[in-house]
Amino acid sequence: MSADFLARLTLAHEVEQFLYEEARLLDTQDYQGWLALLTDDIHYWAPVVESREARHRAGHYIAATDESAYFDDTRATLGMRVARLGFPGAWAEVPPSRMSRLIANIQPGPETAEGIAVRSTFFLYRSRLEVEEDVYHGAREDVLRRVDGQLRLARRKIVFAQSVLTARSITTFL
Amino acid sequence: MAIEPWKWVDREHGLVDRRIFSDQEIYDAEMERIFRRTWLALGHESEIAQPNDFFTTWMGADPVIVTRSGDGIKVLLNMCRHRGGTVCRTDRGNAKLFLCPYHGWSYGSNGALKVVPGLETDYRHGIDPADWGLFEAPRVATYKGLIFASWNPDVEPLEEFLGDATFYLDCILDRVEGGTELVGGMRRWIIPTNWKHAAENFVGDSYHAAATHTSIMRVPGLEGAGGRVKKPFGYQAALQNGHGVGMWLADEEDARGGYGHLAGVDDYLQTIEDQLVTRLGELRGKRLTPVHATIFPNFSIEFPFASLHIWHPRGPLKTEVRDLTLVDRAMPPEIKEMLRRHCMLRQGPAGTWEQDDMDNWSQTTYSSLSPTGRGLLANYQMGMGHEHTRPDIPGRLDNKSSDINQRNMYTRWAELMAMEPPAPAQVAAACRPGKEAGQ
């Protein structure tokens, strides 16, 4: 086994464990713990998606950075969202949802000075009250960066697999 | 079940039977008697700026294509006249032809039937393409950039339908030279609620804010944008045709409030204040700020920067929302960007404001399925008997916390539901070649 291969295997394992730990924090709604995984300059972005002709961007259109988005957040606005969810009157999470998410197809690129580009897919199942259900599917493009030796999330682009979300609301992070 | 709207809407006592939020037959009647009769908001001209640009949307339960054709804006039923295939399967784009994938009938962006494979060789007796164009809404009109259409050829002129609502709409549509445009794209999602629960919230429900949005009030940076004027007082204004608007009003001369977290917007408004006063007058230029409105039936606005919501009914228990962000064309790019983010953080499925609204609306819809609950009429009585008017502000007025606009909306709902359904769309007489052959 070459040293290079081992290094890539080690990095892939580190990235996977980072994303799994992140998923655990989100499922358990430990949002303060989640915020601690983000860099101060995070860009957390979920552009809207439209159906366009097949010749246009592989079958769907992903909105540009100056267009509409479900999330287009900085560390400051993510902090506001988390603070709000912490109050008893954040009704869309009263009582809290039960969430279970799968993170899969994790493909880290090489580690460079800019960080590690990582692709992954997500599936989130949300159950609320008695039998209310929402599902969220999609792909993510992340950039992870080391801060004091620890991996941190510096960029995330979330592309939902739906153009019209069938979920009533998004009260968590993806 | 007979359609008996005045039995369900007791306007004298401000009571509404909850079955109107969940009953399939009532919903079906709404699609005919309301959504096939009145004007419906579809979008904004900036979405179809170039020739042959199009977007697809809904008029009630009817799928439509809105196009910019050589003949102007057309609103076409998205249904091949042959066997009913969907001729446009995408959300948006530019197309000279809409091709039905089933047998290949193709239509121009004005809806005219252009191609019928085998017209001569296979039909043989001949059909006239002029009789088989895409069915188009007989009435299409714009109001300062907003596109409306109606299936009803006899509908009143759009400005008459909007009536005094234009006084308030102009505060966002006509405040500066150059008009408005939309931020690209839109948030779309499905709420498990009856469309009226969304429309009534925006038409006049300021009362809900303190309870529903309690979490917002405690997080600096998430506050709303109703701050153009100081807030000593607010009104609800009930307008004709079921429309309604809520507003802040300052009676004193120097009424400037401020947006706090949107300081750049304050500066922008400062720079356009002379224009505002010139175009809209001193009252709307300085002292009056609309906050929320519904143009009945299903078009709502969160002022002033402005989030447009179109509530598309998807059955009695589901509503598809289209959430658009409107800005002044002439705004500096950094102000547009600030407002794009402002709306993103508040509206949409992840919106810090909107998600708690939707949660409540889904509960009020579900409760209307309760056979016992249905008999216990919904209370819209706040402020009854306190309606008044004043000469400088259009509409029948009451305090900002009042159900006056909801009563007005459900009264209009019942008026329309009490009318006979409009005539169904029909094929032209010439579409029956047997008759023609017999002539």
Q: Is residue B103 annotated as part of the catalytic site, yes or no?
A: yes
Q: Are strands B187-191 and B319-328 parallel, antiparallel or unpaired?
A: antiparallel
Mean pLDDT of chain B: 93
B434 burial (CB, 10 Å; 0-12 / 13-18 / 19+) is: exposed
Same domain? For B237 and B370 the reply is yes
Chain A residues in contact with B345 by the CB 8 A cut-off are: 73, 77, 80-81
* Cα(B180)–Cα(B178) distance, integer angstroms: 7
Same domain? For B87 and B228 the reply is no
Nearest residue of chain A to residue B321 (CA atoms):
A164
Q: What is the CATH number of the domain that holds B128?
A: 2.102.10.10
The mean pLDDT of B115-136, rounded to a whole number, is 92
- Kindly indicate the confidence band of residue B325, based on its pLDDT and cuts at 50, 70 and 90: very high
pLDDT digits (tens, 9 = 90+) for B76-87: 999 999 999 999
pLDDT at B228 over 60: no
Residue B364 lies in a domain: yes
Same domain? For B85 and B175 the reply is no
Same domain? For B200 and B71 the reply is no
Report chain A's C-alpha Rg in angstroms.
17
Same domain? For B305 and B262 the reply is yes
Nearest residue of chain A to residue B183 (CA atoms):
A67
- Asked if B184's CB is within 8 angstroms of A68's CB, the reply is yes
Distance from the Cα of B362 to chain A's closest Cα (Å) equals: 9
Nearest residue of chain A to residue B211 (CA atoms):
A89
Chain B residues in contact with A83 by the CB 8 A cut-off are: 218-219
Same domain? For B251 and B121 the reply is no
Q: What is the CATH number of the domain that holds B341?
A: 3.90.380.10
Q: B180: domain range?
A: 167-417
Same domain? For B322 and B197 the reply is yes
The mean pLDDT of B393-421, rounded to a whole number, is 97
Residue B25 lies in a domain: no
- Asked if B218's CB is within 8 angstroms of A87's CB, the reply is yes
Residue B128 lies in a domain: yes
Residue B402 lies in a domain: yes
Chain A residues in contact with B325 by the CB 8 A cut-off are: 68
Tell me if chain B has a CB within 8 Å of the CB of A164: yes
Among the options B213, B292, B309, B342, which is catalytic? Answer: B213
Query: What does the domain layout of chain A look like in residue ranges?
Result: 3-160
Q: Is residue B342 annotated as part of the catalytic site, yes or no?
A: no
Residue B94 lies in a domain: yes
Question: Closest partner residue to A53 among B93, B221, B341, by Cβ?
Answer: B93
The mean pLDDT of A9-32, rounded to a whole number, is 98
* Cα(B343)–Cα(B337) distance, integer angstroms: 10
The whole-number pLDDT of residue B225 equals 57
Q: How many domains does chain B have?
A: 2
* Cα(B439)–Cα(B419) distance, integer angstroms: 38
Residue B198 lies in a domain: yes
Tell me if chain B has a CB within 8 Å of the CB of A124: no
- Kindly indicate the confidence band of residue B437, based on its pLDDT and cuts at 50, 70 and 90: very low
Among the options B17, B53, B357, B398, which is catalytic? Answer: B357
Q: Is residue B213 annotated as part of the catalytic site, yes or no?
A: yes
* Cα(B269)–Cα(B228) distance, integer angstroms: 9
- Kindly indicate the confidence band of residue B231, based on its pLDDT and cuts at 50, 70 and 90: low
The whole-number pLDDT of residue B230 equals 61
Q: Are strands A150-160 and B233-238 parallel, antiparallel or unpaired?
A: unpaired
Tell me which amino acid residue B198 is.
A
Contact B396, B377 (CB under 8 A): no
Chain A residues in contact with B354 by the CB 8 A cut-off are: 169
The class that CATH gives domain A3-160 is: alpha beta
Which percentage of chain B shows pLDDT scores above 70? 94
Torsion, CA B14, CA B18, CA B19, CA B20, rounded to 10? 60
* Cα(B20)–Cα(B9) distance, integer angstroms: 9
Among the options B208, B267, B386, B388, which is catalytic? Answer: B208
Q: Is residue B164 annotated as part of the catalytic site, yes or no?
A: no
- Asked if A90's CB is within 8 angstroms of B349's CB, the reply is no
The whole-number pLDDT of residue B134 equals 98
- Asked if B188's CB is within 8 angstroms of A76's CB, the reply is no
Same domain? For B72 and B171 the reply is no
Residue B155 lies in a domain: no
Distance from the Cα of B348 to chain A's closest Cα (Å) equals: 7
The 3 state secondary structure assigned to chain B is CCCCHHHHEECCCCEECHHHHCCHHHHHHHHHHCCCCCCEEEEEHHHHCCCCEEEEEEECCEEEEEEEECCEEEEEECCCCCCCCCCCCCCEEECCEEECCCCCCEEECCCCEEECCCCCCCCCCCCCHHHCCCCECCEEEEECCEEEEECCCCCCCHHHHHCCHHHHHHHHHCCCCCCEEECCCCEEEEECCCHHHHHHHHHHECCCHHHHCCCHHHCCCCCCCCCCECCCEEEEEECHHHCEEEEEECCCCCCECCCHHHHHHHHHHHHCHHHHHHHHHHHHHHHEEEEEEEECCCEEEECCCCEEEEEEECCCCCEEEEEEEEEECCCCHHHHHHHHHHHHHHCCCCCCCHHHHHHHHHHHHHHCCCHHHHHCCEECCCCCCCCEEECCEEEEEEECECCHHHHHHHHHHHHHHCCCCCCCCCCCHHHCHHHHHHC
pLDDT digits (tens, 9 = 90+) for B154-208: 999 999 999 999 999 999 999 999 999 999 999 999 999 999 999 999 999 999 9
Check the CA dihedral B159-B163-B166-B167 and report its sign: positive
The whole-number pLDDT of residue B439 equals 41
Same domain? For B245 and B346 the reply is yes
Residue B73 lies in a domain: yes
Chain B residues in contact with A77 by the CB 8 A cut-off are: 221, 341, 345
- Asked if B215's CB is within 8 angstroms of A165's CB, the reply is no
- Asked if A48's CB is within 8 angstroms of B187's CB, the reply is yes
Nearest residue of chain B to residue A89 (CA atoms):
B215
* Cα(B405)–Cα(B397) distance, integer angstroms: 9
pLDDT digits (tens, 9 = 90+) for A33-91: 999 999 999 999 999 999 988 665 556 789 999 999 999 999 999 999 999 999 989 99
* ipTM of the complex as predicted: 0.95
Same domain? For B219 and B88 the reply is no
- Asked if B190's CB is within 8 angstroms of A84's CB, the reply is no
Could you say which of B139, B159, B178 is where a domain stops? Answer: B139
- Asked if A48's CB is within 8 angstroms of B344's CB, the reply is no
Distance from the Cα of B47 to chain A's closest Cα (Å) equals: 13
Distance from the Cα of B219 to chain A's closest Cα (Å) equals: 6
pLDDT at B122 over 80: yes
Tell me if chain B has a CB within 8 Å of the CB of A95: no
Check the CA dihedral A124-A127-A131-A136 and report its sign: negative
Chain B residues in contact with A67 by the CB 8 A cut-off are: 183-185
